[in-house]
Structure 1
Amino acid sequence: MQPQSNVLEVGKKLVDYCKRNQPLKAVDELYSEQIESQEAMETPGMPANVRGLEAIRKKNKQWEETMEVHSSQVDGPFPLGDRFAVHFKYDTTDKKTNQRWQMEEVGLYTVKDGKIIKEEFFYTM
C-alpha cells in the first residue's frame, strides 16, 4: 500500500483541474495508461465500462461536445488508503435537446504508483 499523502496529492491535483474545467489535462498528467473507468450506466455511444487513456479522452470529449455546463461544484478529495472520493454537482443543458438538468455524482478513484488506475462514478438520473 502506498502512503496516503501520495493519494491525497493526486486527489488535490485532480480536484484542482476539475475546478478549472481542465479534465483532459488531468487525464494526461494523472491517469495510468491502463486506466479503467466505470459509469453507473451506459449513455448513447459510450459503454459504461471503458479502458485505456484514449477511451477516457473520448469520454471527456463527448461530455464537452454534448453538454453545456452552466455551473459546477467540486468537493474533496476525501482519501482512504489507496483511494479518494470527489463529490461533483453540475447544472447542465444537453446541447441536442436543450433539456436543462442538475446532476450530482461521487467519483471514487484508485491510485497506484502515483497514477489513477481506476475511476468509478456513482449517481442516479
Structure 2
Amino acid sequence: MTTQDVADKLVGLCRQGQFSEAISTLYHNDIVSIEPDGSPQKEARGLSAVQQKTEEFNNMVEEIHGMEVSDPLVADKFFSISMKLDITFKGAPRTNIEEICLYQVENGKITREEFFFTPMAPQ
C-alpha cells in the first residue's frame, strides 16, 4: 500500500470508530507512538504496547458524543490528520479535544505516530 492508501484506510476506520482495527491492520510491529508532555503515557513502543495504551484510553472514556476526522494531508512517506473529539471521561466534565496526528509509513505500515494537543489538567 502507498502512503495515500494507508492514510485513506486509517481515516475511514477512525471515522467509524474502529481504532483497534486500524492498529491491528495498519501498524507495524515496531510502531513508536508519542504523546505530548503531560499525557499519562508519553511513549509506547511496539504493537502490543500501543494496543494496551488504546485500551487504557478507552477504559477512561465514559462517552464519546461526537468525533470529526479530517481528510489526510500526504507528503512522501508522511501524512497528517486533525481529529476533534467531544468526549466525557469518567469522573470529569464533558470536554472537547482537538489534535493533530502525524504518521510515518514504511513498506505499507505505520511505523511512527505522534499526537499534538494540549493535555487536560489533572482532576
Q: TM-score, normalised by structure 2?
A: 0.91
Q: Alpha-carbon deviation of 1:98?
A: 3.4
Q: Alpha-carbon deviation of 1:28?
A: 0.7
1:88 aligns with 2:83: yes
> Corresponding residue for 2:33?
37
Q: Alpha-carbon deviation of 1:60?
A: 1.0
Q: Alpha-carbon deviation of 1:31?
A: 0.2
> Corresponding residue for 1:58?
52
Count of aligned positions:
118
- What runs of 5+ residues in structure 1 fail to find an aligned partner? none
Q: Distance in 1 between matches of 2:86 and 2:27?
A: 26
Q: Distance in 2 between matches of 1:114 and 1:81?
A: 12
Q: Distance in 2 between matches of 1:52 and 1:80?
A: 24
Identity of aligned residues (%): 35
Q: Distance in 1 between matches of 2:32 and 2:6?
A: 16
Q: Alpha-carbon deviation of 1:41?
A: 2.6
Q: Distance in 2 between matches of 1:42 and 1:62?
A: 16
- What runs of 5+ residues in structure 2 fail to find an aligned partner? none
> Corresponding residue for 2:100?
106
Q: Runs of 4 or more off by more than 4 Å in structure 1?
A: none
Residue aligned with 2:70, SS: strand
Which residue identity lines up with residue 99 of structure 2 in the other structure?
E
Q: Distance in 2 between matches of 1:23 and 1:41?
A: 23
Q: Alpha-carbon deviation of 1:62?
A: 1.3
The RMSD of aligned alpha carbons is 1.2
Q: Alpha-carbon deviation of 1:42?
A: 4.2
> Corresponding residue for 2:116?
122
> Corresponding residue for 1:71?
66
